[in-house]
Amino acid sequence: VNVSRRRFFQGTAAGGAAVAAGAIGVPALARGDDGGDDEQLVAWQGPRQAGIVTPRTAYGMVASFDVVSDDLPALFGDLTARIAELTQGWPDRLDDIDDPNLPPSDTGELGFDKRNEGRLTITLGLGASLFDGRFDLRGHRPPALIQMPSFPGDNLDSARCHGDLLLLVQSDHMMVTHHALRDIMRRTKGRLEGRWAQPCFQRFEADGGSTQRRAGVADARGLLGFKDGSQNIAPTRDELIFTGAEVEPWARGGSYLALRLIRLKLERWDRLSRTAQEDSIGREKVSGAPIGGREEAEKPTLDKRTPVDAHIRMANPRKPGDERRRFLRRPFVFNNGFDSYGLIDSGSVFMAFCRDLQHQFQAVKERTHGQDLDEYMVAFGGGYFFCPPGASGRGDYVARRLVEG
Amino acid sequence: MSAKQMILTVMVAALGVGAAVGIAACGDEDRGSLEIEGGTTGTTGTGTSTTPVTVDTTATDPEALAKAMSEVSTYAKGQTAELVAATEALQQAVDAGNVAQAKKAYAAGRPYYERIEPLVALFPELDGKIDAREDDFPKKAEDLTWTGFHPIEYALWKQGKIDARTKKNAAGLVVDSKRLDELMQDAEIPPNVVIPGTAELVDEVEESKITGEEERYSKLDLPTFLANLEGARAFYGALEPLVESKDELLEEQIDAAFDKAFDEVNGLKQNGSFPAYDELSEDQQRTIKQNIEALAEPLARVQGTLGVKS
* Segment B61-111, tens digit of pLDDT: 999 999 999 999 999 999 999 999 999 999 999 999 999 999 999 999 999
Q: Which of B94, B221, B211 is nearest to B155 (CA)?
A: B94
Residue B18: predicted pLDDT:
35
Whether chain B has a CB inside 8 Å of the CB on A343: the answer is yes
Instruction: Enumerate the residues of chain A whose CB falls inside 8 A of the CB of residue B297.
Output: 271
CA angle (A63, A66, A67) in 5-degree steps: 120
The H-assigned helical ranges of chain B are 3-13, 62-95, 99-120, 124-131, 149-153, 164-186, 191-211, 221-246, 248-266, 282-299, 302-305
Residue B44: predicted pLDDT:
39
Q: B211, B286, B297: which to substitute to probe chain A, counting the most A Cβ within 10 Å?
A: B211
CB atoms B135 and A153 under 8 Å: yes
Whether B10 shows a pLDDT value over 60: the answer reads no
> What does the alpha-carbon distance between residue B129 and residue B140 come to, in Å, rounded to a whole number?
15
Mean pLDDT (whole number) for B184-189: 95
Of the candidates B290, B297, B310, the beta carbon closest to that of A271 is on B297
Q: How many CB pairs under 8 A join A and B?
A: 59
User: How far B302 CA lies from chain A's nearest CA (Å)?
Assistant: 10
Instruction: Enumerate the residues of chain B whose CB falls inside 8 A of the CB of residue A160.
Output: none
Using CA coordinates, name the residue in chain B closest to A276: B310
| B152 within 8 A of B106, measured Cβ to Cβ | yes
A187's CB contacts (< 8 A; 6+ apart) are A2, A3, A4, A78, A82
User: How far B200 CA lies from chain A's nearest CA (Å)?
Assistant: 8
Give the model confidence (pLDDT) of A251-307 as tens digits. 999 999 999 999 999 999 999 999 999 999 999 999 999 999 999 999 999 999 999
CB atoms A275 and B310 under 8 Å: yes
Instruction: Enumerate the residues of chain A whose CB falls inside 8 A of the CB of residue B290.
Output: 342
Phi and psi dihedrals of A218, rounded to 5?
-75, 145
Phi and psi dihedrals of A32, rounded to 5?
75, 5
Mean pLDDT (whole number) for B126-140: 88
Residue B34: predicted pLDDT:
45
Please indicate whether residue A63 or residue B205 has the higher confidence score (pLDDT): A63
Residue A68: predicted pLDDT:
97
Assign 3-state DSSP to chain A and report helix, strand, coil percentages, each to 5: 25, 20, 55
> What does the alpha-carbon distance between residue B146 and residue A350 come to, in Å, rounded to a whole number?
29
CB atoms A155 and B211 under 8 Å: yes
Q: B203, B204, B210, B254: which to substitute to probe chain A, counting the most A Cβ within 10 Å?
A: B210
A39 DSSP 8-state letter: G
Low-confidence stretches of chain A (pLDDT < 70) are 1-39, 91-96, 206-213, 393
Residue B55: predicted pLDDT:
74
Give the model confidence (pLDDT) of B54-71 as tens digits. 677 788 899 999 999 999
Of the candidates B203, B303, B310, the beta carbon closest to that of A268 is on B203
CB atoms B137 and A340 under 8 Å: no
Mean pLDDT (whole number) for B200-206: 82
Whether B207 shows a pLDDT value over 80: the answer reads no
CB atoms B206 and A267 under 8 Å: yes
Instruction: Enumerate the residues of chain B whose CB falls inside 8 A of the CB of residue A265.
Output: 207, 210
Q: A268, A278, A369, A380: which to substitute to probe chain B, counting the most B Cβ within 10 Å?
A: A268
Residue A342: predicted pLDDT:
85
Of the candidates A155, A339, A343, the beta carbon closest to that of B212 is on A155
Residue A39: predicted pLDDT:
60
Residue B211: predicted pLDDT:
61
Using CA coordinates, name the residue in chain A closest to B140: A152
> What does the alpha-carbon distance between residue A42 and residue A25 come to, in Å, rounded to a whole number?
14
Residue A145: predicted pLDDT:
98
Of the candidates B136, B207, B285, the beta carbon closest to that of A268 is on B207
| A31 within 8 A of A370, measured Cβ to Cβ | no
Instruction: Enumerate the residues of chain A whose CB falls inside 8 A of the CB of residue B118.
Output: none
CB atoms A267 and B296 under 8 Å: yes
CB atoms B290 and A342 under 8 Å: yes
User: Rg (Cα) of chain A, in Å, rounded?
Assistant: 22
CB atoms B210 and A263 under 8 Å: yes
Instruction: Enumerate the residues of chain B whose CB falls inside 8 A of the CB of residue A279.
Output: 310
CB atoms A155 and B135 under 8 Å: yes
Instruction: Enumerate the residues of chain B whose CB falls inside 8 A of the CB of residue A154.
Output: 135
Residue A75: predicted pLDDT:
97
User: How far A156 CA lies from chain B's nearest CA (Å)?
Assistant: 10
Whether chain B has a CB inside 8 Å of the CB on A263: the answer is yes
- For A208, other C-beta atoms within 10 Å of its C-beta total 9
Residue A105: predicted pLDDT:
84
Using CA coordinates, name the residue in chain B closest to A376: B207
> What does the alpha-carbon distance between residue B115 and residue B262 come to, in Å, rounded to a whole number?
14
Residue A119: predicted pLDDT:
92
User: How far A277 CA lies from chain B's nearest CA (Å)?
Assistant: 10
Give the model confidence (pLDDT) of B30-44 as tens digits. 444 444 433 333 333
| A262 within 8 A of A160, measured Cβ to Cβ | no
- For A93, other C-beta atoms within 10 Å of its C-beta total 23
Residue A5: predicted pLDDT:
38
Complex-level ipTM beyond the 0.95 threshold? no
Q: Which strands sit side by side in the sheet containing B22-25, from one edge to the other?
A: B22-25, B33-37, B53-56
Whether chain B has a CB inside 8 Å of the CB on A152: the answer is yes
CB atoms A279 and B310 under 8 Å: yes
The DSSP code sequence of A161-174 is B--SEEEEEEES-H
